Amino acid sequence: MTSTPPPTAEVADDPEHHLDDVVPLDRRVHLELAATVLNPPTDASTLRPVDCEQIALELAGHARVVADDVRRRCALLPARDPKRVLTEAVLGEADRRLSVRPRPTLPSAQNRARLLKTLYERLDSLPPVPPASPPP
The answer, yes or no, to whether residue 1 has pLDDT greater than 60, is no
For residue 20, the model assigns a pLDDT of 55
pTM of the model: 0.78
Read off the pLDDT of residues 88-135 as tens digits, 9 standing for 90 and up. 999 999 999 999 999 999 999 999 999 999 999 999 999 988 876 666
What is the rounded distance in angstroms from the CA atom of residue 105 to the CA atom of residue 26? 24
User: Averaged over 24-43, what is the pLDDT?
Assistant: 86
Average pLDDT (73-79) is 94
CB burial class (10 A; 0-12, 13-18, 19+) of residue 105?
middle
